[in-house]
Structure 1
């Protein structure tokens, strides 16, 4: 019930709201708060944990570890000034695809699940890396951001574990709702 309420609130979040490219202030606190400011990042992080829990060991832990590690690589690419096309559309697609993976109960092999999550993490990291140089305390900001991302993964693992134990259908419904929100994000990114 709480997950449904949180998801409903995310429907009202602006497209790619976490990636405003308007500059960042502060350090750790601002970085920690940032992932909660955009439904796209928040939903993708929760889905990484939920899908990992749905898939079980070893992906229950491998996916939430793969994401932040690869996100750092994406941020580094942005800091080095390397161009990457369609970042916002790719981030929107990550919400749609991860929700669909949960909804369809895709039993991906370890390598495929890790590759998909890593690809999306690269895009999320790149988007946030573009904003990092204007942060007042880039190291503190990055630490807060990665910690909040990890906590969202843990929330997703909890949702996934609960969904698997109580009703696989409820978890699939959660994934379908996230995929629908992701489709809205993708549409908005493509027409922007």
Structure 2
């Protein structure tokens, strides 16, 4: 039972014992018969293809192209970031002093923005004006700012993504239950 796996295979006759010394001799004899030497093949220099471009030159061209593409992508990302900053500054300048939010407002006005239901608190007069389309809501810096319609339209012209709610006065109406049609609960 203490026999190794090798010994067990040898006893069963499945595997014949081959000496380690004979293996290299057999291999060199076979290669001599085929007309080859036992030496490992030498590395040959990279051969040029039909266009005359060797492998090293192809890799260099590829690396240069990729570096140029990365540089263009970085420049484009920097330009987009600059444009976003300019839009943000213009909107911030527009909203300065024009916010109509009141800290004592107690009536919630729900609206959809960014695929979610959002809420802004207004008083009764602001709610009526917001539903009539006289006021609008602008998203700026994670907050929702209540502004006059003109300001909201200017913000929409700069960047429509920041315009959270602006009811069209032509379509603003009240449903059968007395609740505005565009009011979401």
Please report the TM-score for the alignment, with normalisation by the length of structure 2: 0.19
Say which structure is richer in strand: 2
| Greater RCO, 1 or 2 (C-alpha within 8 Å, sep 6+) | 1
Task: Say which one has the larger Rg.
Answer: 2
